[in-house]
Amino acid sequence: MKAPPRLQSLVDEGLIDTVVRQLMSGKEAMVYVVRCGDETRCAKIYKEATTRSFRQAVDYTENRKVKNTRLQRAMAKGTKFGRQATEAAWQSAEVDALYRLAAAGVRVPEPYNFCDGVLLMELVTDAEGDAAPRLNDVVFTPEDALRHHASLLVEVVRMLCAGVVHGDLSEFNVLLAADGPVIIDLPQAVDAAGNNHAKRMLLRDVANLKNFFGQFAPELLQTHYGDEMWALYESGELDPGTALTGRFAHATGPVDLGNVLREVDDARAEEAARLVRMAAR
Ligand SMILES: Nc1ncnc2c1ncn2[C@@H]1O[C@H](COP(=O)(O)OP(=O)(O)O)[C@@H](O)[C@H]1O
Ligand SMILES: [Mg+2]
């Protein structure tokens, strides 16, 4: 097919030979299958902030490391320069997370290049070599559901040990490759240690996996892997080899009211951001 305008500069620079077809136009990006020499790869084009949903609004920008304070002020004020910087930070966050996670042994697509708002990466494929389906497109036996759920929990633990919470993990952002599940779509990944929303995001990620696979293996619905993981992480006892039980005893001591109220505020802010995102679609 004719290269869409946003891919033309990569064609001109020789990073892409031909554009094969469009794979998806998702919430925040358009994804194409491209040929580079003998290899078939995947090109993800980020939509501009104005057409993209608003999910960086509250949670995700918190504690993103921006060292230059002039830049920080510009980003906070939303000047043109600031908006461009925010945009660039958002887009490069996914490449950063991919490199960091691949180094930690997490199964993510291998990144090759990031150029003009386009991420060139490994095309995740099924046994036939076609673009792999999302979990959401597949029906599982109870055994396979348990197996994939368990292996994804290991990946989530590896990510957490590498200091990263995905933040949008669900059956829509995991592909089923020939060699097992592959986690994708990471521009909103947050720093596990520095972001106040990290715990809530981790719990949501793990709950999404539980609820999805729980459709096929209902015993999963009784598990509490997210709480267990976070408690071990916080106390410094989590490592990639930790055997999890899925059991978790919620503390029953005196209630820390300040903490409860902060959680309520956080949940409100997140709901407000969600409504803004829906309205922006
Ligand atoms: N590396 C990849 N290999 C194969 N398919 C991919 C790859 N990356 C993305 N896709 C496809 O494109 C879709 C959208 O990509 P994603 O990164 O989830 O962006 P969005 O923010 O639009 O959801 C995915 O659901 C998947 O079907
Ligand atoms: Mg996605």
Q: Which of 16, 62, 34, 66 is nearest to 266 (CA)?
A: 62
The CATH superfamily label for domain 53-108+131-280 reads Transferase(Phosphotransferase) domain 1 (1.10.510.10)
| Catalytic residue (one of 12, 17, 126, 185) | 185
pLDDT(44) > 60: yes
pLDDT at 121 over 50: yes
pLDDT, residue 56, reads 47
Does 137 participate in catalysis according to the annotation? no
Domain ranges of the chain: 53-108+131-280
Ligand showing the shortest atom-to-Cα distance for residue 108: 1
Q: What percent of the chain has pLDDT over 70?
A: 90
Contact 55, 41 (CB under 8 A): no
pLDDT at 50: 57
Question: Does position 150 have pLDDT exceeding 60, yes or no?
Answer: yes
- Which atom of ligand 1 is closest in space to residue 131's alpha carbon? 4
Substitution site in 21, 22, 24 for ligand 1 pocket (most atoms within 8 Å of beta carbon)? 24
Convert the pLDDT of each residue in 55-111 to its tens digit. Answer: 444 455 565 656 667 777 777 777 777 777 777 777 788 999 999 999 999 999 999
Query: Ligand 1 centre and the CA of 235: distance in Å?
Result: 35
pLDDT band at 273 (very low <50, low <70, confident <90, very high): confident
Q: Which residues line ligand 1 (CB under 6 A)?
A: 23-24, 26-29, 31, 42, 44, 109, 121-124, 131-132, 134, 172-173, 175, 184-185
Sign for the pseudo-dihedral over CA of 95, 96, 97, 99: positive
Q: Supply the pLDDT for residue 185.
A: 95
Q: Phi/psi at 86 (nearest 5 deg)? A: -60, -45
The bound ligand whose nearest atom lies closest to the alpha carbon of 29 is 1
* Burial of 229: CB neighbours in 10 Å, binned 0-12, 13-18, 19+: buried
User: Which strands sit side by side in the sheet containing 29-36, from one edge to the other?
Assistant: 18-25, 29-36, 39-46, 118-122, 111-115
Question: Known catalytic residue: 185?
Answer: yes
DSSP state letters, 117-155: TEEEEEPPB-TTSSBPPBGGG----HHHHHHHHHHHHHH
